[in-house]
Amino acid sequence: MSGELKKMLIEAFREADYAGSAVDSFEVMFNPNTYTQKYDVVYEDRQGQGDTGSPQVFGKIKPQEYTFEFLFDGTGAVVDKVEVQQTVERFLTVTGKHDGEIHRPLYLKLSWGALLSKCVLKSAEVTYTLFKADGYPLRAKVKASFSENVEDTLRVAEARTSSPDLTHIHTVEQGEHLSLLAQKYYGDPSRYFQVAQFNNLKNYRQLKQGEVLAFPPIKELEESRAS
């Protein structure tokens, strides 16, 4: 049903490649009002002796990070009453507690609207803000940060197949942006407009899921722009 409220779902897996079914999951009580997406490119300074400036040499692209603030409410004023402390512990068990079978926290998949991220929990800060007369919490806020997780074999494969001297065919996934795809295939997000021209995109600011795009060699991309 269009317009139906869907809450963020956090699914947990034991396999690094997310094979099989989720072994656990957690649905948030309230969707976050905002969230932060951090895209961090690392450059290395290489400055010669006596130089006043230094070229920024590309080092690596760090995994994207997402930060959310989740609200847990046990007053019953908006949703059914819950035991806040138990619910927070349940959240932490799914997202960040040590799993005995794989001897580490579980691998996570966040799903909410256009956001679909395979990640791991980096940190969670719990703040209790309202209490019962006996001291048990009635309300809590959890500031949680997640870092994208790419399984090693997939990461190596992507690195080998992302050469700008090859032609790549890419099927757009939900939430992808052309500038990030240009960064992926050319190492230069500013080439998004050239890619849009090459693919005759009318609305390159909002890519459609399932849309097929071509990323040709840089030389061919530049020649198409000049013609």
Beta carbons of 148 and 158 less than 8 angstroms apart: no
Beta carbons of 87 and 37 less than 8 angstroms apart: no
17-21, 161-165, 181-185: lowest mean pLDDT where?
A: 161-165
| Separation in Å, CA 56 to CA 41, 60, 143 | 11, 12, 33
Beta carbons of 66 and 10 less than 8 angstroms apart: no
Grade residue 166 by pLDDT with cuts at 50, 70 and 90.
low
165-169 mean pLDDT: 73
Q: What is the pLDDT of residues 45-96, one digit of tens each?
A: 655 555 556 666 666 677 889 999 999 999 988 888 999 999 999 999 999 9
pLDDT of 153 > 50? The answer is: no
Instruction: Please enumerate in sequence order all residues whose Cβ is within 8 A of that of 134, keeping only pairs 6 or more positions apart, or say none.
Output: none
Amino acid 22: pLDDT: 95
Instruction: Please enumerate in sequence order all residues whose Cβ is within 8 A of that of 199, keeping only pairs 6 or more positions apart, or say none.
Output: 213, 214
pLDDT of 186 > 70? The answer is: yes
Instruction: Please enumerate in sequence order all residues whose Cβ is within 8 A of that of 99, keeping only pairs 6 or more positions apart, or say none.
Output: 14, 105, 106
Which residue type sits at 105? P
Q: Which tokens sit at 181?
A: 């795809």
Q: What is the pLDDT of residues 131-152, one digit of tens each?
A: 999 999 999 999 999 999 865 4
Query: Going from the N-terminus, what domains does the chain have, and what CATH number goes with each?
Result: 9-152 (2.40.30), 163-226 (3.10.350.10)
Which residue type sits at 16? A
pLDDT of 25 > 90? The answer is: yes
159-172 mean pLDDT: 66
Grade residue 158 by pLDDT with cuts at 50, 70 and 90.
very low
Residue 2 has a CB neighbour count (10 Å cut-off) of: 3
